[in-house]
Amino acid sequence: MNLRGGLGLTLGTVAAPLFVVLWSTGFIGAKFGLPHAEPLTFLSIRFALASAALALWTLVMRGAWPSRRQGAHLAFVGALLHGGYLGGVFVAIWLGVGAAVSALVVSMHPILTVFLARWVLGERMTRVQWAGLCLGVVGVVLVVGEKLSVGAGSMAGIGLCLVSLLSISIATLYQKRFCTDAPMGSGTAIQFAAALATLGPLALWLETNEVAWTGEFVFALGWLVVVLSLGAVGLLMVLIRQDSAGRVASLFFLVPPCTAIMAWVLFGETFGITAVAGIVIAVSGVALVMRSRPSGS
């Protein structure tokens, strides 16, 4: 589907850079809102609002609903893409991991996606891709190592970022294989409901569920629901439908530099020379992985 406007731009041309910018703001929104609510409580409220909004929109517009089989696939993706991925990132940031660092760790998603595609899609990695994977790992280790050495974050927080990384990689492959024919609006509503069912009980069990309804929290919540949950996730679903899982995943390597700039401006997050070198190495590694076609593809 190519939608062309007066400027002759395709939907994909507009959606890709817009998605990168909007997705980057998710890490910033998390840091704004988390001082006022615990992470799983924050996400449960977000998922409830987003799911209700999309379900209501589908009913008002008399949109289609997924079949029972499609619903099961969508629920699995939602539990991973929103529950596992966002749950890990939000708790990590709550534990002190910087917005830019968490963005960098999960930006290894393209590399892991290509790596997992060896088994899921029968693709083989080239030597260039293996080299890119190694560069990506080295870059992340340099950045994380510097931040941990100055007390910015914890091993538990980095571990949760790795859980998020695995969750979004599996969800992207599964979405591409089983959910591309599902209705988008109602399907995303089911995904958010599944994420709520995953994290909601954990929030009730592990957290106090207290929320300080300050102006900053309301703004952060509104931004994450409307711009991220409805806007950016909708763009992601469009991009996954239109292109390969690997090419869509490659967009995520642009998120760390974008997030780092925002975090520097808004929160004063800085990086030493080692961490800057690590970001460059990691991004270069992801670029190598994504520019080289897997053998057998």
pLDDT at 31: 86
Residue of 278 and 228 predicted with greater confidence: 228
**162-171, 174-183, 188-197, 272-281: least confidently modelled range:** 272-281
> Which one is predicted more confidently, 129 or 160?
160
Q: Percentage of the chain surpassing pLDDT 70?
A: 75
Whole-number pLDDT of residue 6: 43
CA distance 48 to 204: 14
Asked whether residue 20 is domain-assigned, the answer is no
Let me know if residue 124 belongs to a domain. yes
> Would you say residue 127 has pLDDT above 70?
yes
Rounded distance between C-alpha atoms, residue 238 and residue 127, angstroms: 31
Given a cut of 60, is residue 136 above it in pLDDT? yes
In the numeric block, the tokens 């409307």 are attached to: 226
pLDDT of residue 169: 86
Q: 């400027």: which residue's tokens?
A: 7
Taking residues 41-63, report their average pLDDT: 93
Distances (CA, A) of 82 to 15, 26, 47, 199, 224: 20, 12, 9, 9, 12
Q: How confident is the model at residue 297 (pLDDT cuts 50, 70, 90)?
A: very low
What is the Cα–Cα distance from 136 to 141, expressed in whole angstroms? 9
The maximal CA–CA distance of the chain, rounded, in angstroms, is 55
Q: Is 7 contained in some domain?
A: no
Residue 29 inside a domain? The answer is no
Count, residues in the chain: 297
Number of domains making up the chain: 1
> 1-16 pLDDT, tens per residue?
344 444 334 555 667 7
Higher pLDDT, 66 or 139: 66
Residue 271 counted as domain residue: yes
User: Residue 255 domain-assigned?
Assistant: yes
In a domain, 35, yes or no: no
pLDDT for 296 equals 47
Q: What is the mean pLDDT of the chain?
A: 79
Q: Is residue 13 part of a domain?
A: no
Give the pLDDT score at 12. Answer: 52
- Read out DSSP for 249-264? HHGGGGHHHHHHHHHH
With H, G, I as helix, E, B as strand and everything else as coil, classify residue 207.
coil
Summarised one tens digit per residue, pLDDT across range 210-243 is: 999 999 999 999 999 988 888 887 777 777 666 5
Q: Taking the alpha carbons of 181, 44, 86, 15 in that order, is the dihedral positive or negative?
A: positive
Give the pLDDT mean for 24-50: 92
Angle, CA of 63, 66 and 70, to the nearest 5°: 160
Highest mean pLDDT among 6-20, 119-133, 168-182, 219-233: 219-233
Of residues 96 and 74, more confidence is placed in: 74
Instruction: State residue 124's pLDDT score.
Output: 63
Write out the residue range of the structural domain in which residue 254 sits: 40-59+68-291
User: What is the mean pLDDT of the segment spanning 100-120?
Assistant: 73
- In this prediction, residue 78 carries a pLDDT of 94
